């Protein structure tokens, strides 16, 4: 479970399928992640000395900062966590401390590892479930196969039922299944765990109480089809080694983890004397050892942060990267500026990416039997109106397209069930009719993000 050995060029090409423009940011991220793969090919002595080149992304909201990092994490099987710097406080203040970032990242890695291991044991679990279902369907037959005439008959009956089960002839048969449920820990544990440095203690207490509480056996009637899914999950969980999960998750976090720290500009600049920003330079000081490389205690084990990639991002309208603590600036040696988006970018965003908005709406309304088509002239008009609203009101980048599209297709979405296998073509006239009044009426346009 390591990052795939894509070349930087291949990584950029993969990102181009989902993100329009921002070539500099894509290249910088591609090189940073390729260097991880290169480091894993080295001798441990040299590899330990090579630290990741952390990155600061500078650019307004909605231009693709988070999406670039998130897509890369998906492509390269890396635990990814996005946090907002302004949500953390210095140790000693009420709120979450920065070390909880690593604890959250490990939890994500645990889920990823467990998901992969479940795939590996699924075939064996399915065989076990088949035997359990046969026991439910044939409770009176003995399981042991002896050479007696009675046992041979039982064995033949079981074989016949097995064939019928595989053919799906028992899917609607009702059986009574005994499932295992762990009793819930007493309330209050999560409250402890939510307070800054108490995260780890809260997790340990929760595990402690969960281990002490007895498992509950519950019998429930359900169809064979439903029982198969319930039993499959239980059997798969039994086949997984929890210690191996923890070990793999810690290793994956340390070598492939990506932390995206958004709104880093909100904790830069002069220190406030009171109010919510009182501890922002303190947050920077707390972030420093984590970004430099430290060991964080988690309920899954000790996690070293030396080789976790940290990507910071911010608009930096009021503050500058140089307003950050000099030591913290030094731990983010790479800086890339992302460009604002204009109507030409919006047109490409609507049409080209694999997850383009147009494709999403066509698929959504297609579930109602509606064939929705968009002419290029319509897409250009949508892009024009989105750009105009960004210029006149707050510039929220590509996010403006979501609100414009919702307004444009509001009537069609509302009445979609009334169109039976009908084709609707959206052209520039339709867009002008639906959006021109909104753009002209400033009071209305303020409600469209």
The CATH number assigned to the domain holding 318 equals 3.40.50.300
Does the pLDDT value for residue 375 go beyond 60?
yes
C-beta contacts of 30-33 below 8 A and 24+ residues apart: 30/72, 32/309, 32/334, 33/3, 33/72, 33/76, 33/78, 33/309
- Number of structural domains, the chain? 3
143, 239: one domain? yes
Residue 134 vs residues 143, 149, 156, 163, 389: alpha-carbon distances, Å = 10, 20, 13, 11, 64
254, 347: one domain? no
Q: How confident is the model at residue 249 (pLDDT cuts 50, 70, 90)?
A: very high
Domain boundary among 274, 304, 337: 337
Q: How confident is the model at residue 167 (pLDDT cuts 50, 70, 90)?
A: confident
- Rounded mean pLDDT of 360-380? 90
423, 348: one domain? yes
Q: Which of 410, 404, 414 is nearest to 448 (CA)?
A: 404
pLDDT in tens, 95-134: 578 889 999 999 999 999 998 988 888 888 888 888 888 8
Query: Considering the domain boundaries, does residue 116 fall inside one?
Result: no
Q: How confident is the model at residue 81 (pLDDT cuts 50, 70, 90)?
A: very high
367, 430: one domain? yes
- Rounded mean pLDDT of 41-49? 89
200, 163: one domain? yes
Does the pLDDT value for residue 191 go beyond 60?
no
Q: How confident is the model at residue 164 (pLDDT cuts 50, 70, 90)?
A: confident
283, 329: one domain? yes
Query: Considering the domain boundaries, does residue 30 fall inside one?
Result: yes
Provide the pLDDT for residue 214.
61
158, 219: one domain? yes
- State which residues form the domain around 231: 123-246
- Rounded mean pLDDT of 264-284? 68
37, 94: one domain? yes
Query: Considering the domain boundaries, does residue 115 fall inside one?
Result: no
Provide the pLDDT for residue 95.
59
Query: Considering the domain boundaries, does residue 276 fall inside one?
Result: yes
Domain boundary among 305, 337, 369: 337
Query: Considering the domain boundaries, does residue 351 fall inside one?
Result: yes
Query: Considering the domain boundaries, does residue 59 fall inside one?
Result: yes
Provide the pLDDT for residue 154.
66
């Amino acid at each position: 479970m390591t990052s795939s050995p894509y070349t930087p060029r291949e990584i950029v090409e993969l990102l181009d399928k989902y993100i329009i423009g921002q070539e500099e940011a894509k290249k910088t991220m591609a090189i940073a992640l390729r260097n991880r793969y290169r480091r894993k090919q080295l001798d441990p002595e040299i590899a330990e000395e090579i630290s990741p080149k952390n990155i600061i992304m500078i650019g307004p909201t909605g231009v693709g900062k988070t999406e670039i990092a998130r897509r890369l994490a998906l492509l390269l099987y890396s635990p990814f966590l996005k946090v907002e710097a302004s949500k953390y406080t210095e140790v000693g203040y009420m709120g979450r401390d920065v070390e909880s970032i690593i604890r959250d990242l490990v939890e994500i890695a645990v889920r990823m590892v467990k998901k992969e291991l479940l795939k590996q044991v699924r075939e064996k679990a399915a065989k076990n479930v088949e035997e359990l279902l046969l026991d439910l369907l044939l409770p009176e037959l003995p399981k042991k196969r002896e050479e007696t005439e009675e046992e041979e008959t039982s064995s033949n009956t079981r074989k016949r039922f097995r064939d019928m089960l595989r053919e799906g002839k028992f899917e609607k048969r009702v059986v009574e299944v005994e499932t295992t449920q762990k009793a819930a820990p007493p309330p209050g544990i999560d409250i402890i765990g939510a307070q800054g440095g108490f995260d780890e203690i809260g997790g340990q207490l929760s595990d402690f109480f969960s281990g002490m509480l007895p498992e509950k056996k519950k019998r429930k009637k359900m169809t064979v089809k439903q029982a198969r899914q319930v039993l499959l999950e239980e059997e798969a969980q039994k086949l997984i080694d929890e210690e191996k999960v923890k070990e793999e998750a810690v290793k994956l976090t340390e070598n492939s983890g990506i932390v995206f720290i958004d709104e880093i500009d909100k904790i830069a600049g002069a220190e406030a004397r009171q109010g919510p920003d009182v501890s922002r330079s303190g947050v920077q000081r707390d972030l420093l050892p984590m970004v430099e490389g430290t060991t964080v205690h988690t309920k899954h084990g000790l996690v070293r942060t030396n080789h976790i990639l940290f990507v910071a991002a911010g608009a930096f309208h009021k503050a500058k990267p140089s307003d950050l603590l000099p030591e913290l600036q030094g731990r983010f040696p790479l800086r890339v500026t992302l460009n604002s988006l204009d109507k030409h970018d919006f047109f490409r965003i609507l049409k080209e990416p694999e997850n383009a908005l147009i494709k999403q709406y066509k698929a959504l309304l297609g579930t109602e039997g509606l064939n929705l088509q968009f002419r290029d002239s319509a897409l250009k008009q949508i892009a024009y109106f989105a750009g105009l609203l960004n210029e006149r009101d707050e510039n929220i980048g590509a996010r403006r397209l979501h609100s414009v599209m919702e307004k444009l297709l509001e009537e069609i979405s509302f009445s979609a069930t009334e169109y039976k296998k009908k084709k609707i073509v959206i052209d520039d006239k339709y867009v002008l009719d639906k959006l021109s009044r909104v753009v002209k009426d400033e009071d209305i346009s303020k409600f469209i993000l």
